[in-house]
Amino acid sequence: MPIETVTQEHRPAGVIAAAPWRVSAVNPQPGYRLSITCNDGTSGVVDMSRLVSSEKAGVYAVLKDQAIFNKVNIELGALTWPNGADLDPEWVHEELGKNKTWSVPD
């Protein structure tokens, strides 16, 4: 009997999602903002302008270069950048579920 492997977008085969929702789309916007959509209908805008401009930005400081900021990707459900910076998808989902617009603290 053949075995059928089912995969979902942004999820490697064999990895089971911990949450019933997933970040399904991210689009960078001007002003260090991200338009986010989750597969459960949650959507909104994440404003990272304070974080990338902060003296305490750390790994996020490089994202002040808009070209690098625009390289955001979805990797295993997290919003990630080539330099290793990421945003916790659970935190993003929770904040957007409450407010539709979330300003990431610095």
* 9, part of any domain: no
How confident is the model over 52-87, as pLDDT tens digits? 999 999 999 999 999 999 999 999 888 999 999 999
The more confidently predicted of residues 5 and 79 is 79
35 has which bridge partners? 27, 45
* 94, part of any domain: yes
* Residues listed for the chain: 106
**Among residues 35, 36, 41, 79, which one has the least CA distance to residue 60?**
79
User: How many C-beta neighbours within 10 Å does residue 7 have?
Assistant: 10
What pLDDT does residue 6 have? 38
Residue 81 tokens, joined: 């950048």
* 75, part of any domain: yes
- 96: domain CATH number? 3.30.2020
Domain count, the chain: 1
Q: How, if at all, do strands 78-80 and 86-87 pair?
A: antiparallel
* 8, part of any domain: no
- Order the strands of the 23-29 sheet from edge to edge: 23-29, 33-38, 43-47, 101-103
What pLDDT does residue 3 have? 43
* 27, part of any domain: yes
* 17, part of any domain: no
- 13 has a pLDDT exceeding 70: no
Range of the domain at 29: 23-103
* 67, part of any domain: yes
* 85, part of any domain: yes
